[in-house]
Structure 1
Amino acid sequence: MGKELSSCDFHLHSHPDKILFRHLSNVGNKSISTSREKSLSLEKFGIDENIFSKISFLIGICHDFGKGTDYFQRYLFETDLAIQRSLKNKKEYHHGLISAIFTYYILEKYVDSLNDKNILEYIPTIGYLIVKRHHGNLKDAEDEIRELIDKDVLEIIDLQIKSLDISELKTVYEKLLDGYDISSDIDTFCNEYRSIAGEILKNRRKLVKLLKGEQFTGYYLITLTLYSILINSDKIDASSIDVSSEIEISSELVDMYMVEKGFHNNESTINKIRNGIYKEVTENIEKLDLDNKIYSISVPTGSGKTLTSLSFALKLKARLREEKRIKAKIIYSLPFLSIIDQNYDVFEGVFKTVEIANPSEDVLLKHHHLADIFYRTQDNEEFEGLKSLFLIEGWNSEIIVTTFVQFFHTIVSNKNRSLRKFHTIANSIVILDEVQSIPHKYWLLLKQVISGFAKYFNTYFIFVTATQPLIFDPEKGEIIELVKNKDKYFREFDRVKLKINLSSIGMNDFKEIIESEVKKNPEKDFLFVLNTIKSSLEVFKHLKNLELDNSDYYYLSTNIIPKERLNRIKKIKEKSEKRKIIVSTQLIEAGVDIDVDIVYRDFATIDSINQVSGRCNRNSSKSYRGQVNIVVLKDERKEFHRYIYSSFLIDKTKEVLKESPSEIYEEDLLFLNNSYFRKVKDTSSEDESKELLSYINELKFKTLTSDFRLIEDKVGYEKIDVFVEMDDEAVETWKEYILIKSLKNPLNRKEKFLAIRKKFNEYIISVSKNDFSCEEPEDLNIGYIPLEQIKHYYDPETGFIFKLKPTMMCD
């Protein structure tokens, strides 16, 4: 659409080193190329793929119209940084609002030229909202428009209109819109901008009425997709960083890996089951109706779902490319950092064994706050620091392994930084592993958003877990189960026996019981999973004081620095001559690939009980069943589970268990899980989801984000991040951090910090401000425990030392 002309002597700039024409042309063309890569189904909105691409293009070329003022040009080339900062705070030097009004006007002209303009009448207002906040976070739609009531705001626009370089802007847009006479439109805009602003304001009530009346997520998804395309295109051109290449990944990759590793030749019972599940899921890919876009893989823990889901996704990716010309990314999302690295290592191992010796980040990418800030392409182009972070945060890869927080706080967000990758989810294959960890109060909300992605943006979802929550109801055909014989697989597993005791007991009685058990079974590995830090520390110290022979002790909770936590998990997974006694909070239970003989679990919800059972005799390597003991522990006030789980979920768990025998075998777990989630689904309140959905449907972006928290702070008090100077590496890292904080240039400061961010975060824990008595370093907004004071505040074995409260918990 844009005309390739750049030889004219332009003087208006978008950035100090870039003329405005070139920037608008690049952003417009990048926007149109991004939108054309997407296969969309927006017929309901009167939008076909050509119209969507044209809308993206127009938003792209209009978003910086306001940079054509003398005010902005003066700000851009001011050499005195102090003066430049003062100019930045003056509204006449801003360009967002005037550009937004111009965008509205141009989109309205375009919509008026279409036959179905009534269907598209909301598009100009959406363009206004997008451009107004393309340098910030989105606010509530009605509030953004209401700002035009302010007379002072319009007076600022008056000043900006008078300072526009009209002549050059006409030349710029004539070249951008080759063959279209834009000159008269710019004159009209400059003469009638107040009435255009009045029209936007007048249409506010109509828009609000439309959104409230329809209560439809499609407007939200379209708005954020267009917003994401714009800000991504804008940032790519401003940074001059763009990585795009055709990377072919064989659909048979995991098949080849399985053969290479000899998995199909292993005749053990558990491998036969794993191979059966793998074969059933992957061999049916050609028979699937691709109009169904939401699937589940519901299989027992330890049955190879990581490799099975990856193989299925790769085969689906190949079929989508061949049949629907969809170039699908694979986004693999998990709830816990403790299993992110574990599953990423599995994927990396597949590539290293079969296809690529060392897969580059444009092939396989890990994205979370403890990951390395480094990006390399298949062509061996390397990026570090801010450039690397830019590519990582944009999910520039074929396969992305990331957290639930990254994924769900992208699809439910108003944040500019998060939403830059929103458009990448369109046409992707999203694997949601351990989905049972999603709070039930958000089921309806996420169901609607996920359904919208599937229906309108051709995104495919695979829900993977042993305990499938009823976010989508299989009985209503809302989700397609890929494992048709899942009942059979649950029956074939006979690895554990669960013993449930619903009578509450005190800690002293419990310590006597477990002391007897660990002494009576000197060859067996034990795992104790507790609900609170208080109880976990009490149990660990009691067991450690027994000084049992031939025993290694491990304590895990989030009051231990991440570096040590991951090291301990790694050691636990290694074979050893000594038996292991592990005491942990809930962080151990979901997905961490460890295998013990006997588990004691303080009472929890059914899904948590099932997950911790998956750590017992996981590989079916024992000649006997593993033993999982569920107990109800209490302190002097109440049962520990009451401090962290909702009464509603606990009550549903007890209802299910009271209907079951006191001893439960693995074949019974599927029925228990289904019964539990059915009770939760049928009797839970959907009020919170409905309220958040109303914010989504009414484009209340800011209100939505302030109320949505995937991970809640259950303890209810203010926390502080604390750097623990645990060892010599930490000492050097802290010195580097202090040096970086002293740098005056913000960009230089950020660049330098990114080089140490991974190491730095490995020593960070989060604790209550009330419990942190060590003096905080001035102006750093972070706690600090120096090496010479470590013994007073941090125990190398059990972590942060604080005055324990009954409500103190850990995840």
Structure 2
Amino acid sequence: MEYIAHIRVSDGERQALKTHLLGVKKLAEMFGATLGIMHITGLAGMLHDLGKYTVEFQNYLIEAVNHPEAPPKRGSVDHSTAGGRMLYDLYHKGKIEREKGILAEIIGNAIISHHSYLHDYLNPELESPYLRRVRDKVDIGDYDECVRLFFQQVMDEAEFQLYVECAAQELKQYLTRTSSFNMEAKCMFLSKFVFSALIDADRTNTRCFEDHVMEEEVSTGASNLFQGYYEKLMNKLQDFAQGSDSGSVINKLRSEMSEQCDRFADKPSRIYTLSIPTGGGKTLASLRYALKHAATFGKKHVIYVLPYTTIIEQNAAEVRQILQDDIHILEHHSNVTEETVDDDEAEDGLMNIRQKLKLAKDNWESPIIFTTMVQFLNVFYAKGSGNTRRLHNLTESVIIFDEVQKVPVSCVSLFNEALNFLKDFGRSSIVLCTATQPALDFVEHRLQIDPDAEMIQDIEQVVASFKRVEIIDEASSGLYTNEKLADFALNKLEEEKRNILIILNTKTVVKDLYQRIKNALQETPVYHLSTSMCAAHRKQILGKIRDHLQKKEQIVCISTPLIEAGVDVSFECVIRSLAGLDSIAQAAGRCNRHGEEVLQQVYVIDHVEENLDHLKEIKQGKEITKRMLIDLQRDTTHHGGHLLSKQAMTHYFQRFYLDVKPLLNFDVSKLAVNMTTLLFAGYHENKYYQDYCENYRQVPPLFLVNSYRTAAEHFHVIDDLTTPVIVPFGEGREIIAELNGAERIEDFGKLMRKAQQYTINIFSYEMKKLDKNNGLDRCLDGQILVLKDGAYNEEYGLDQQNDSWTGGYFFG
């Protein structure tokens, strides 16, 4: 009998199961080589579909293809348990060798989870979902026949035993590698990496078969690309050096700091800080380091991680223009479809819309990638195999964290440990790039960073040389409402200010102030920016703003904080609602950015109408900054003499992390435990292990007792979970239509990448309101949500009332 893995719906072509298993093994081995664990990942690859060696599954697959109008119940045949059980039976029973027992748990978990997400070894109910699958489950088909056919068709038993021995040696070397991690933390990151390698190898092999393309190889020519990119960048910098304003003080400083980054590129891969002041050219300076380091040390990717999608657009466009390459630069703003955790056993055999979307998702294989902090943290900790699929591509990379101070408080410990793993095991070089370095080595789960990690010399002197603004404390003079703020801003405009930027903390007050000032200024352009607008919409508005600024025309822009992190605009006057000191400093970076004037003003106000109850970090930062302003009123030499000094920033972050210390480990209040305990804790710190021992008077029969799935189900970078929705702005409408007509997985992938720029994330209360007002549509069997025309406004984006319809065409 010919055992098959997949049947291509388009032409009935069959992929032999042996071909699939060996193809996935080969890819997984290449992915695992980065960590020196090619046999560990290879084992997962060749055993993941062992359960398809049953007559039941073969009949199920053929029946589903022959009768698509009435297919058998999806998931009715379990094919992913057999591989995990085989490892358990061979290496987790009787006299167990430690390394092989741990291997059985790590690889077995990846195998049984490859249609969902990693299982808990021990869960809050003190049960083991892992053991329930590999030891206790009964209805998994003819398991003994699966094992016999595997040894007959894929790899004989003697060769298999040698392969496992190699994997055990790899595990031993991995676990004894010098690191700050305990054994459980090492195994957690290894488990995620093995799962990532397996998911990507399986989906890549399946996609290649489905789309009639040759098996993809992992790119080996990236270092050649990086060398060519570096030369193009250097040519561009030479052009800048010959420009008419190259002799200005600021441009000389930019050039000097860029050269320091170049020299640092010859140093070994570690965690470095790049504390270039706002407006100091850190994008090109960090790119110069990244390209040279990647070419010198053979890195596979250069990855920029940014806090907001707005900056992704801007920075990616700048890099594309310099490198003259559209093909190898990926922008990953957000997932267009939601990640779910489900156990859909048969999904890879039946190629429906949902499966095509799953195969098409970005795995971050491009040489240069721009993504967000949310997406980076999701790779390590969020539910959904599509997120974890990207993890292996973070290794052997140069990763630039732009505006790293924006790491959410609850994620600080998790962020630090992810970076420590990439440094210690993943052979990645990491750059923390910001004008306001947070004290990430000041917390319990500290970042393992060396004292000499700073790339720029004489930081204090550089900061002083870049001083282009003065902070004016208006917060101490009384509280501001939008009515008072509108009057204040209009008065500043009358004082011969050509342009003003106002940054407030919440979308509600931004929208209200925008409408007030727009009504008051009939002839002057007034612009609104918030995350209620899709990236393409914000890009369009920013383009108009830059055009006005270049022509020195009078304008007003009212924005949420999204504009202050890396967006290259320069206003004469900035008004900033009181927030954390890092936000004040970033807002100041949008004022007199290029030193157009000797000195300009940034006014800090205390806005009484902002509701910060659900923005605890902003609220906490605001209180610390307010106390620092009082300190400076009492003693003008305090905190280095001004809010933008290095001493002020160090004091702020240390005070901030002390104040929020209970939150840093991501507390899961429902379970009375924190995320670091669920993922990293050893036996003595693990609540569920201790409770199990006390309840059952014995230790659990496991080497690992951590709760990976429970942690993932409770992880979210922001407090309120959001849902991605494609909006009918500009090309958005065309993308929606094309998605409905797409057939090939490659087409879905291209369209979903384009759709990211036409997507917003909406909260649950917004979705309820939109549903009530008939503002939502669903396409592709309900997998993708889209806004109706009336639910998106050309001025401020999302309209929950669904009353923005113009009666004709949408003006995008």
- With the shorter chain as reference, the TM-score category is 0.7 to 0.9
Paired letter, 2:203: K
Is the 1:70–1:165 Cα contact (8 Å) retained in structure 2? no
- In the TM superposition, what whole-angstrom CA distance separates every residue of 1:199-250 from its partner, at most 9, and x where no partner exists? xxxxxxxxxxxxxx95742111111111222222222222225143423021
C-alpha deviation, 1:409, in angstroms: 0.6
C-alpha deviation, 1:598, in angstroms: 0.4
Aligned partner of 1:379 in structure 2 is none
Counterpart of 1:156 in 2: which secondary structure?
coil
1:567 partnered with 2:540? yes
Paired letter, 1:239: R
Within the candidate set 274, 299, 313, 2:254 is matched to 274
Paired letter, 1:89: G
Paired residues in the alignment total 698
Look at both structures and tell me which one has the larger radius of gyration over its CA atoms: 1
1:225 partnered with 2:189? no
Aligned partner of 1:428 in structure 2 is 397
Counterpart of 1:393 in 2: which secondary structure?
coil
1:536 partnered with 2:510? yes
Is the 1:257–1:350 Cα contact (8 Å) retained in structure 2? yes
Within the candidate set 694, 698, 706, 2:677 is matched to 694
Alignment map for 1:198-347 (pairs within 5 Å): 216-240=184-208, 241-245=215-219, 246-247=221-222, 248=224, 249-250=226-227, 251-262=230-241, 266-286=246-266, 288=267, 290=268, 293-321=270-298, 327-347=299-319
Counterpart of 2:542 in 1: which secondary structure?
helix
- In the TM superposition, what whole-angstrom CA distance separates every residue of 1:504-547 from its partner, at most 9, and x where no partner exists? 233333222222211222x5211011222332233222322233
- In the TM superposition, what whole-angstrom CA distance separates every residue of 1:596-644 from its partner, at most 9, and x where no partner exists? 000111111111111111000001112x312100001113xxx545563
Aligned partner of 1:348 in structure 2 is 320
Paired letter, 1:343: N
Within the candidate set 527, 530, 541, 1:554 is matched to 527
Aligned partner of 2:684 in structure 1 is none
Within the candidate set 172, 186, 203, 2:153 is matched to 172
Alignment map for 1:504-653 (pairs within 5 Å): 504-521=479-496, 523-547=497-521, 549=523, 551-574=524-547, 575-576=550-551, 578-622=553-597, 624-635=598-609, 640-641=611-612, 644-646=615-617, 647-653=619-625
CA RMSD of aligned residues (A): 3.8
1:471 partnered with 2:457? no
Change (3 A) 1:585 1:779: closer
Aligned partner of 1:88 in structure 2 is 74
Counterpart of 1:660 in 2: which secondary structure?
helix
Is the 2:84–2:108 Cα contact (8 Å) retained in structure 1? yes
> What stretches of structure 1 of length at least 5 have no aligned partner?
1-9, 41-48, 186-212, 322-326, 353-357, 372-384, 805-811
Change (3 A) 1:106 1:22: farther
1:53 partnered with 2:31? no
Is the 1:413–1:701 Cα contact (8 Å) retained in structure 2? no
Change (3 A) 1:719 1:658: same
Within the candidate set 375, 378, 382, 1:406 is matched to 375
CA distance in 2, matches of 1:214, 1:765: 37
Aligned partner of 1:97 in structure 2 is 81
Is the 1:298–1:483 Cα contact (8 Å) retained in structure 2? yes
Alignment map for 1:747-762 (pairs within 5 Å): 755=751, 758=754, 762=758
Aligned partner of 1:32 in structure 2 is 29
Is the 1:506–1:634 Cα contact (8 Å) retained in structure 2? yes
Change (3 A) 1:735 1:119: closer
Counterpart of 1:448 in 2: which secondary structure?
helix
Is the 1:602–1:641 Cα contact (8 Å) retained in structure 2? no
Within the candidate set 388, 401, 412, 1:443 is matched to 412
CA distance in 2, matches of 1:783, 1:359: 28
Aligned partner of 1:673 in structure 2 is 649
Is the 2:574–2:588 Cα contact (8 Å) retained in structure 1? yes
Aligned partner of 1:705 in structure 2 is 712
CA distance in 2, matches of 1:136, 1:452: 24
CA distance in 2, matches of 1:171, 1:803: 64
CA distance in 1, matches of 2:752, 2:131: 45
Alignment map for 1:658-807 (pairs within 5 Å): 658-661=630-633, 668-689=644-665, 691-697=674-680, 698-713=705-720, 725=728, 740=741, 755=751, 758=754, 762=758, 766=762, 768-769=766-767, 771-772=769-770, 773-776=772-775, 787=789, 790=790, 795-801=793-799
Aligned partner of 1:457 in structure 2 is 426
CA distance in 2, matches of 1:179, 1:218: 25
Aligned partner of 1:64 in structure 2 is 49
CA distance in 2, matches of 1:151, 1:280: 54
Is the 1:65–1:102 Cα contact (8 Å) retained in structure 2? no
Change (3 A) 1:110 1:283: farther
- In the TM superposition, what whole-angstrom CA distance separates every residue of 1:477-506 from its partner, at most 9, and x where no partner exists? 367111122111101012101101233233
CA distance in 2, matches of 1:82, 1:598: 64
Change (3 A) 1:753 1:218: closer
C-alpha deviation, 1:336, in angstroms: 0.6
Paired letter, 2:138: E
Aligned partner of 2:332 in structure 1 is 367
Aligned partner of 1:161 in structure 2 is 143
Is the 1:414–1:702 Cα contact (8 Å) retained in structure 2? yes
C-alpha deviation, 1:166, in angstroms: 6.5
- In the TM superposition, what whole-angstrom CA distance separates every residue of 1:344-387 from its partner, at most 9, and x where no partner exists? 112112212xxxxx3422xx32222499xxxxxxxxxxxxx999
CA distance in 2, matches of 1:319, 1:390: 33
Compare 607-616 and 468-477 and name the one that shifted more.
468-477
CA distance in 1, matches of 2:72, 2:295: 54
Aligned partner of 2:807 in structure 1 is none
Is the 1:298–1:467 Cα contact (8 Å) retained in structure 2? yes
Compare 328-337 and 651-660 and name the one that shifted more.
651-660
User: Could you tell me the TM-score, scaled by structure 2's length?
Assistant: 0.77
Change (3 A) 1:170 1:508: closer
CA distance in 1, matches of 2:44, 2:733: 49
C-alpha deviation, 1:98, in angstroms: 1.7
1:142 partnered with 2:122? yes
- In the TM superposition, what whole-angstrom CA distance separates every residue of 1:369-416 from its partner, at most 9, and x where no partner exists? 499xxxxxxxxxxxxx99999577122222212121221110223421
Counterpart of 2:513 in 1: which secondary structure?
helix
Is the 1:297–1:481 Cα contact (8 Å) retained in structure 2? yes
CA distance in 1, matches of 2:759, 2:42: 45
C-alpha deviation, 1:68, in angstroms: 1.0
Counterpart of 1:483 in 2: which secondary structure?
coil
Is the 1:231–1:420 Cα contact (8 Å) retained in structure 2? yes
Change (3 A) 1:655 1:724: same
Paired letter, 1:30: L
CA distance in 2, matches of 1:127, 1:735: 41
Counterpart of 1:555 in 2: which secondary structure?
strand
Change (3 A) 1:296 1:81: farther
Paired letter, 2:515: K
Change (3 A) 1:752 1:669: same
Counterpart of 2:592 in 1: which secondary structure?
coil
C-alpha deviation, 1:651, in angstroms: 2.2
Q: Quote the sequence identity (%).
A: 22
CA distance in 2, matches of 1:708, 1:263: 50
